[in-house]
Structure 1
Amino acid sequence: MLKILTSIAVIATLLAACSVPSYRLDVQQGNAIDDDKVAQLREGMTARQVAFLLGTPQVQGTFVREDRWDYVYYKRPGRGATELRRVSVFFDRGRVARIEDTRPPTAPDG
């Protein structure tokens, strides 16, 4: 008798779980990257100026490359497409030498 009651309880729980819409959390990690601030980056800027604009990088140099800062942003909404963006700033002698952005530049309105 106990097995039958346990089975009924398990089946009722599973059926109830299937009928309730599930809520999916938004997952957001890394640096929020502002397009306007990225657009202000210029070659020749100092590391301090870059940090002022974009904040502290997610990955600030490694023992392999100490001349590169990576700003990484990842967002997976509960519903919809995942957004992944990376901005890499390369330095040469303490100044910005190159900027790589995974998001293509937007055309100016006009």
Structure 2
Amino acid sequence: MYKILITIAVAASTLTACSGFNQFRLDVQQGNVIDATDVARVQPGMTPGQVRFLLGTPQLDAAFKSEDRWDYVYYRRPGIGPTERQRVSVYFQDGVVAYIDSDVPQPVALEDHPVDMDD
């Protein structure tokens, strides 16, 4: 009887020890998905409605009402691999875009870097 209980206890502890090696984690996504081509289309002089059409509703409102700034934040933590973070801040002055601060890599224009299709 004791041998059966000891065997069950050893088997249970062995199974719980092995369960930590292969854990399944869900992907966690938060914020606005930021498309680099849409960020590149935002230009100084655009209205807030035009920016909202391209980038969507901002994730964070301005901390102070006197500050005209929209913040777009994207955070993705995959189950396996490094965490991805992107941020875009659009600054307005006199009701139009003054400038953009972003850590999103800008897409390469094909006109600036033509692709040779002869190969």
Which range, TM-score by smaller chain? 0.7 to 0.9
The aligned residue for residue 87 of structure 1 is 88
1: CA distance between counterparts of 2:66 and 2:23? 44
TM-score, normalising length: structure 2: 0.76
Aligned residues: 108
Q: Whole-Å Cα distance in 2 between the matches of residues 65 and 81 of structure 1?
A: 37
Structure 1, 24-33 or 4-13: larger mean CA deviation: 4-13
**Superposition map of 1:29-108 within 5 A:** 29-63=30-64, 66-108=67-109
- Counterpart selection for 1:15 from 17, 21, 32: 17
> Runs of at least 4 residues of structure 1 off by over 3 A?
4-10, 106-109
Structure 2 CA distance for aligned equivalents of residues 28 and 65 of structure 1? 31
Q: Distance in 2 between matches of 1:101 and 1:24?
A: 29
Secondary structure at the residue paired with 1:59? Answer: coil
| Percent identity (aligned) | 49
Supply the AA of the counterpart residue of 2:82: A
User: Aligned partners of 1:104 and 1:52: how far apart in 2?
Assistant: 21
* SS of structure 1 residue aligned to 2:39: helix
Which whole-Å deviations, capped at 9, do the CAs of 1:81-109 have from their partners, x for residues lacking one?
21111000000011000001112324334
Conserved 8 A contact 2:72-2:87: yes
Deviation readout 1:10-29 (Å, 9 max, x if unpaired): 6244234246x111111111
AA at the equivalent of 2:99 = R
Asked if the contact 1:37/1:53 (under 8 Å) is kept, the reply is yes
TM-score, length basis structure 1: 0.81
CA, structure 1 residues 66+94, in 2 after alignment: closer, same or farther (shift >3 Å)? same
Q: In 2 relative to 1, CA 13–64 (structure 1 residues): closer, same or farther, beyond 3 Å? A: farther
Q: Deviations over 1:44-85 (max 9, x none)?
A: 000111011111000121226531000000111111121111
